[in-house]
Structure 1
Amino acid sequence: MIDSYLLEQLLAFYRTGTLSAAAEELHISQPALSQSMKKIESMIGAPLFNRSQNKTSFNENGLLLVDYAQKVTDLQKEMIDAVRRQANYSSKLHFASIAPAPRDAVLEQAAAFRLEAVSKLLADEKQMIADLLNDKYDLAIASRIPDNRLLAAVPFFDETLYIQVPLEHSLAKYDTISFADLAGQNILILMDIGFWMDLVKTEIPSANFLYMEDNQAFTEVASAGEFPHFVTDITDLGRAAEHKKIIPIREDKAKVTFYFVFKKENRLKWDKLIERCRSASERK
């Protein structure tokens, strides 16, 4: 086995054309470099150089060795770069989620794993899966299992949508409700809720949505205000105040199962994180 430093010296000699120039580039003495060349020649067991009184050059054996030395050093560099990229990649998580609750759950567990997590909340599930396939994300949290042989899916948790209303509101007389029952209602809604926004706008096209962007402000207004607003069995807003009533929405679309979606080739990379997230959700 030839040490990598000897191969680097050999390549420097080939690249510069003379021992003196190579020695200067390598910041070693010319006699030391000459000794290294003799050591390589001894290890190979064949002559590598044409030597004259004033010049040393590569013979055919030496040129063949140079070719292999370049391949070996390139492969070593590729190996080191790949390992470093892998180490850096494994310490970061880029993921997208179709809804805020599963996103927040993953962020919480990623912090426990000491992963630097970068998340994106999306409403377009089709585009999210396309971006996952193009390696924009490591994981995606979807509301359905994609039909793609390159992808695998693992169930995460269920989330169910409810409507919360003041006790004096006309809807408070109902124990369950449909989307159609909400037609024409003024409904307070938080903007950053992923696919839920598209769902309720599609199912209740005649509702008058009162949009709010700030989460804290929304929580305060929703708690004290007179407008109906959506909550789920996962979010903190799922706890009704004394003057409020939470009414289940009795439609299949109001309940969603979330799935971790990832490339099959990356299953082992994220398996522990996924299991930790699933276990944490089961304990809640």
Structure 2
Amino acid sequence: MPEELTDDRLGMVFTTTDLTGPDLISQPLGVEHLFVNLDRFLPQANQTAVSFKDLAGLSFVVLDDIGAWKDVIGKEIEDAHFMCQDERDAMDEITRYSNFPYFTTNVTAADPSYHPVPANNRVERSIKGPKAELTIYVTVKRQRQTQVQPLVDRLKAAWAKLPTTPTTGGTNVLK
């Protein structure tokens, strides 16, 4: 059981694992879809969707704090190089003035701090395969479920409105 729930520091946690047990209830919130934003001149940019294998050998700029996705891309993309950035502002600058590919998801579509790279520089493509999707669960203590369920319901409703495929030509990409 996550310590933050047991000592009541948090009312809920988000995980990629169903933690349902005697004291916890996990509910699927939705599926997070991984996208890659490619320089429009890369051969992979001509495909509507790419596989992890298609991305082998490329160098990517990546936000350091991307949760479970860090393990996924590290394991699934052979011979890739990842230049991890701690700060979003640094990430924004690098993606704006370089051709390095970077990853986004459907979940951060509503993130007000995201500043998309102009569409003429990048195209956003889906990544094919089950490893490019993560089911996200919201987990609460059983004794607090009634209290937090209205918020969980609002989160599920908002999630249902998120895109599941890349948006128009890379103009609304996510970091």
Which structure's CA Rg is the greater one? 1
Q: Which of these residues, 169, 194, 206, is aligned with residue 79 of structure 2?
A: 206
- Which amino acid is the alignment partner of residue 148 of structure 1? G
What is residue 21 of structure 1 aligned with on the other side?
none
Compute the TM-score of the two structures, normalised by the length of structure 2: 0.77
CA distance in 2, matches of 1:244, 1:130: 39
Higher relative contact order (CA 8 A, sep 6+): 2
Q: In structure 2, do the counterparts of structure 1 residues 267 and 147 end up closer, same or farther at CA, with 3 Å as the change threshold?
A: closer
Specify the SS of the correspondent of 2:60.
Answer: strand
Q: Is the 1:160–1:255 contact (alpha carbons within 8 Å) kept by the matching residues of 2?
A: yes
Q: Which moved more, 1:233-242 or 1:150-159?
A: 233-242
Please say if 1:248 is aligned against 2:126: yes
Please say if 1:216 is aligned against 2:94: no
Higher strand content, 1 or 2: 2
Unaligned stretches of 5+ in structure 2?
A: 163-175
1:112-131 aligned at under 5 Å gives the runs 129-131=1-3
- Which amino acid is the alignment partner of residue 264 of structure 1? R
Higher helix content, 1 or 2: 1
CA distance in 1, matches of 2:116, 2:106: 8
Unaligned stretches of 5+ in structure 1?
A: 1-128
Q: Is the 2:59–2:82 contact (alpha carbons within 8 Å) kept by the matching residues of 1?
A: yes
What's the Cα RMSD here?
Answer: 2.3
Please say if 1:227 is aligned against 2:105: no
Q: Which moved more, 1:156-165 or 1:218-227?
A: 218-227
Q: In structure 2, do the counterparts of structure 1 residues 233 and 165 end up closer, same or farther at CA, with 3 Å as the change threshold?
A: same
Q: Is the 1:165–1:228 contact (alpha carbons within 8 Å) kept by the matching residues of 2?
A: yes
> Percent of aligned pairs with the same residue?
26
CA distance in 1, matches of 2:42, 2:91: 19
1:64-103 aligned at under 5 Å gives the runs none
CA distance in 2, matches of 1:239, 1:233: 13
CA displacement, residues 74-106 of structure 1 (integer Å, 9 cap, x when unaligned): xxxxxxxxxxxxxxxxxxxxxxxxxxxxxxxxx
Deviation of the 1:142 alpha carbon? 1.1
CA distance in 2, matches of 1:205, 1:149: 40
What is residue 78 of structure 1 aligned with on the other side?
none
Deviation of the 1:205 alpha carbon? 4.7
